[in-house]
Amino acid sequence: MRRNLRWIGTWAAIAAGILVAGAPRAARAGVQAFTGQLELQIAALDAIAISGSGFAFVEPRPDDPDHLATMRLEASPFGTTGLLVPVTDPVAMPIRGVLATAHNGAGGVAENGGSLGGILPIFGVAKVCLFGDCDADPVANLSVPISVLGQGGSAAVTGPVNLTVVGAPWTTATVAIGSLTAKGFARGPQGQTSSTLQPSGTIRLVTPVFISTNIGTSAVVPAFGFLTLHFVPEPGTLVLVGAGLAVLVRAGARRR
């Protein structure tokens, strides 16, 4: 009987620990683990998508501990070298592929007027391969500088095709290039708008990228950047479960 009570007590302790770790908590300034994706959508081409994970430094509103007010990322949780995005759609000819090398620099966003916005630079280049596959030394290609993405400014390239790329900071508000629009958001579990800092909160930032060329039919090439972060639950639950199972194993060994 005493042995059974000990087992019941052990299971009760584990269950209590799991409930405490899994219960909603009041968010506070600190660090949030995240997984996410950085994307660059150029016109109707398939998006350049870079997955990443890391830790965000966050602060809530003073009067609402679950509402994200500021967020900062360190450099390079998102990065890739020589990422090939093939293009097979005949409508996109003569474009046969895009080869991207990029990573994020350090930066962050803050709440202003109900939206999050700020500078998080993306450094790199997207090579648009023309008339041949990117790995076949194509006859021609366009190197599109993307280092203005997420921070603003302009970059120009002079060659067979002249390019000018104009960027802008990130925002959760609606952005537009001509009649095309994109919109970000910040929301918590079940789509709540005031609980972003709870586990499973999600932030989607957008930025317009204006590409102009000296080709009449492609004088303006619209592009958008997207940065999506998903806050993952803290590892405390897993730690407690692992510790509890270890206790059970040891208790079982003593019984034998």
For a pLDDT cut of 70, what percent of the chain falls above it? 76
| pLDDT confidence of residue 193 | 77
Residues 34-49: tens digit of each pLDDT: 999 999 999 888 999 9
Provide the pLDDT confidence category of residue 176 given band limits of 50, 70 and 90.
Answer: very high
pLDDT at position 128, please? 87
Would you say how long the chain is, in residues?
A: 256
3-state secondary structure (DSSP) of residue 106: coil
For residue range 117-171, what is the model confidence (pLDDT) as tens digits? 999 999 999 998 877 778 766 556 788 999 999 999 999 988 778 899 999 999 9
CB-neighbour burial class of residue 136 (10 A; exposed 0-12, middle 13-18, buried 19+): exposed
94 pLDDT exceeds 50?
A: yes
Band the pLDDT of 98: cuts 50, 70, 90: very high
pLDDT for position 44: 87
Residue 242 is predicted with a pLDDT of: 47
How, if at all, do strands 174-177 and 163-171 pair? unpaired
Tokens standing for residue 58: 């966050």
Domain ranges of the chain: 28-233
Task: Pull the structure tokens for residue 127.
Answer: 């090579």
User: For the CA atoms of 119, 170, 154, 214, what is the dihedral angle to 10 degrees?
Assistant: 160
Q: Could you read off the pLDDT of 184-220 as tens digits, one per residue?
A: 999 998 777 778 998 899 999 999 999 998 877 667 8
Q: Band of the pLDDT at 22, cuts 50, 70, 90?
A: very low
Asked if the model's pLDDT at residue 77 lies above 90, the reply is: yes
Mean pLDDT, the chain, as a whole number? Answer: 82
Write the CB contacts of 4 (distance below 8 Å, at least 6 apart in sequence).
none
- pTM of the prediction? 0.79
Task: State residue 76 phi and psi, 5-degree precision.
Answer: 75, 25
pLDDT reported for residue 221: 86
Q: Kindly tell me if the per-residue pLDDT of 229 is higher than 60.
A: yes
Structure-token match 């966003």, residue found: 109
Instruction: For residue 129, count other CB atoms closer than 10 A to its CB.
Output: 25
Query: Which residues fall within 8 angstroms of residue 219, CB to CB, at 6 or more apart?
Result: 212, 213
